[in-house]
């Protein structure tokens, strides 16, 4: 297949700007580090709860803690934003 200029498709490299290339490189690097982190943390750990305990891979425990921390952080940010908006309306 050819495009409108008559050159075959897929033969030329896509032109990307400097910031796009930097972002792509950062994303690929972060993805590689995350994959390595996940592979290195697959050992089972025992998690103790009030009602019992269970064993699960360490990466699952890390991801659950990360998700809980993000949820708490976002919830506190939204709560603070709502309080600031109410104070601004009173003034």
Per-residue pLDDT tens over the stretch 61-82? 988 999 999 999 998 887 766 6
**Minimum mean pLDDT range among 4-13, 26-35, 52-61:** 4-13
Q: What are phi and psi of 65, to 5 degrees?
A: -65, -40
The full set of domain ranges for the chain reads 18-90
Strand ranges (DSSP E) for 1-91? 44-49, 52-57
Cβ contact 19:37 at 8 Å: no
- Burial class of residue 40, CB neighbours in 10 A (0-12, 13-18, 19+): exposed
Q: Is the pLDDT of residue 12 over 60?
A: no
């Amino acid at each position: 297949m050819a495009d409108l200029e008559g050159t075959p498709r897929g033969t030329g490299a896509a032109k990307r700007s400097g910031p796009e290339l930097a972002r792509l490189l950062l994303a690929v690097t972060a993805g590689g580090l995350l994959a390595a982190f996940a592979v290195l943390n697959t050992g089972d750990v025992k998690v103790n709860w009030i009602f019992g305990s269970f064993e699960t891979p360490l990466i699952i425990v890390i991801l659950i803690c990360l998700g809980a921390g993000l949820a708490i952080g976002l919830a506190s940010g939204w709560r603070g934003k709502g309080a600031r908006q109410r104070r601004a309306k009173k003034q």
